[in-house]
């Protein structure tokens, strides 16, 4: 049986599409429907909520960072053995970067590529019939991106619902949901996005509240009827990030969480074993592993505890003496000499690379990146071109004397200079790798 799919889109971030997506996923899973969540673009937090809501691993589908072949392979994998795929847009539905047709990174690329309908979530707070003008703009902006229905969010009253709904349906778009304003349904956030799914002590209770809201406020059966078959063209995993080793020691706790689901899934399918360890629990990478990976996360919130984790520090030093170690973003910060927290207090880190970073001196760095490796490391062989992104607020306060790891460009190919560092078997960068460039 072919899985059916629909895209949850919106005019902008903060419209409520994540709550609608998670609530719909959880409501369907409670009904016994096999459903999977997907996320457009480079988001490593929302897939964790999708996974928790459904019991099935979420996936990122990124039309800029992933080659068409890899994108098709991942979409096929996402649709395997499920009845529905609910694909959540990043930011606004059409938001991406200037790029060749179909490679902007927007959810609209996926709607065109796979012929998927869009369920448009509109935050109608502060407006009523004007919402119809917004909906009409979406319906006519691109004839290859079809709006199938509308969900009204943050309604103030029944009259508000009627005014907005009547105006939208008058232009020919069905309104399939109407959600009253309820701040208790909002998911809490911090500087890199939502609080992570694994940090909730009562996560399932909150997911069930979102599912209850969806059951009450949305016409789920109509939404399912709007979904269409997800039938990607043939693809393969030739451009996926290859396993960096046979047994991968992976830092995994509240300080280290940002590893894309599709990356870990492919490593396992390719035959690698992922062996998690917790630096916050003062654990070291397993000596029987042949590579160590420190992913991004929130080490700036746990710098004191990491600085006091003597077994972790000694174990990392022993490991790095004979085996490769790589750190991304937060992991890169921990590989350095010093991490300054938000209060301006400095904490000694691993010192396996010579740089220092500060979260007290904050500046947002955000965007797609393309990196050409200057040397072989766990990301790939020398000369390999990797696509990914940066999203961090921490700044470098000292550069050290290590060799640069890669030459970096933005999503449009504009050179950004050298990125990251390498010393012997240790490498790291603020750059998050998503896939190899085709």
Q: Residue 245 and residue 249: Cα distance in Å, rounded?
A: 9
CA dihedral of 320, 326, 329, 331, whole degrees rounded to 10: -40
- DSSP letter for each residue of 241-309: PPPSSSEEEEE-BTTB-B--HHHHHHHHHTT-EEEEE-GGGT----TT-SEEEE-BS-GGGSHHHHHT-
- DSSP letter for each residue of 103-159: -S--HHHHHHHHT--EEEEEE-TT-STHHHHHHHHHHHH-TTS-EEEEEEEEE-SHH
Nearest partner of 111 among 126, 96, 98, judged by Cα: 96
Cα 59 from chain centre = 8
Q: Residue 58 and residue 44: Cα distance in Å, rounded?
A: 10
Q: Residue 83 and residue 80: Cα distance in Å, rounded?
A: 9
Of the candidates 289, 292, 329, 377, the residue annotated as catalytic is 329
Largest CA-CA distance found in the chain, in angstroms, rounded:
69
Other Cβ atoms within 10 Å of 201 Cβ, number: 6
Paired with 423 in beta bridges are 426
Nearest partner of 74 among 235, 310, 295, judged by Cα: 235
Kindly state the tokens that stand for 22.
């998670």
Opening angle at CA 74, ends 70 and 75, nearest 5: 115
Q: Residue 259 and residue 53: Cα distance in Å, rounded?
A: 19
Nearest partner of 27 among 184, 209, 228, judged by Cα: 209
289 included as an active-site residue:
no
Cα 409 from chain centre = 21
Q: Yes or no: say if 85 and 103 are a contact pair by the CB < 8 Å rule.
A: no
Length of the chain: 438
Helix, strand, coil: what percent of the chain each, to 5?
A: 30, 30, 40
Between helix 46-54 and helix 17-30 the angle, nearest 10°, is: 20
Instruction: Kindly list the catalytic residues.
Output: 329
């Amino acid at each position: 049986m072919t899985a059916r799919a629909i895209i949850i889109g919106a005019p902008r971030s903060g419209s409520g599409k994540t709550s609608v997506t998670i609530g719909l996923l959880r409501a369907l899973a409670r009904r016994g429907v096999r459903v999977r969540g997907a996320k457009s673009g480079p988001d490593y937090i929302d897939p964790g909520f999708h996974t928790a809501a459904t019991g099935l691993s979420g996936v990122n589908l990124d039309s800029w960072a992933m080659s068409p072949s890899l994108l098709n392979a991942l979409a096929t994998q996402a649709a395997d053995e499920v009845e529905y795929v609910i694909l959540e847009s990043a930011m606004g539905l059409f938001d991406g970067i200037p790029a060749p047709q179909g490679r902007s990174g927007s959810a609209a690329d996926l709607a065109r590529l796979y012929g998927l309908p869009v369920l448009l979530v509109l935050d109608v707070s502060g407006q009523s019939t004007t919402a119809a003008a917004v909906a009409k703009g979406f319906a006519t902006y691109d004839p290859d991106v079809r709006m199938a229905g509308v969900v009204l969010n943050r309604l103030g009253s029944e009259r508000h619902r009627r005014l907005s709904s009547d105006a939208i349906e008058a232009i020919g778009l069905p309104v399939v949901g109407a959600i009253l304003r309820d701040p208790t349904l909002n998911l809490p956030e911090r500087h890199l996005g939502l609080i992570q799914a694994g940090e909730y002590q009562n996560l399932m209770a909150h997911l069930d509240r979102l599912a209850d809201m969806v059951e009450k406020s949305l016409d789920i059966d109509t939404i399912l009827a709007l979904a269409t078959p997800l039938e990607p063209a043939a693809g393969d995993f030739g451009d996926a990030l290859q396993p960096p080793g046979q047994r991968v020691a992976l830092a995994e706790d509240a300080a280290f969480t940002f590893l894309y689901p599709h990356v870990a899934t492919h490593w396992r399918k390719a035959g690698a074993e992922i062996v998690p360890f917790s630096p916050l629990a003062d654990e070291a990478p397993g000596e029987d592993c042949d590579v160590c990976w420190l992913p991004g996360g929130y080490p700036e919130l746990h710098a004191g505890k990491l600085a006091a984790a003597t077994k972790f520090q000694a174990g990392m030093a022993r490991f790095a003496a004979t085996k490769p170690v790589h750190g991304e973003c937060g992991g890169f910060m921990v590989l350095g000499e010093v991490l300054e927290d938000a209060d301006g207090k400095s904490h000694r880190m691993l010192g396996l690379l010579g740089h220092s970073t500060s979260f007290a001196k904050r500046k947002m760095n955000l965007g797609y990146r393309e990196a050409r490796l200057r040397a072989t490391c766990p990301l790939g062989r020398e000369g390999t071109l990797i696509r990914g992104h940066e999203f961090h607020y921490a700044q470098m306060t000292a550069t050290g004397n290590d060799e640069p790891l890669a030459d970096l460009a933005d999503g449009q190919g504009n050179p950004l200079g050298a990125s990251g560092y390498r010393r012997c078997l240790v490498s790291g960068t603020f750059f998050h790798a998503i896939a190899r460039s085709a």
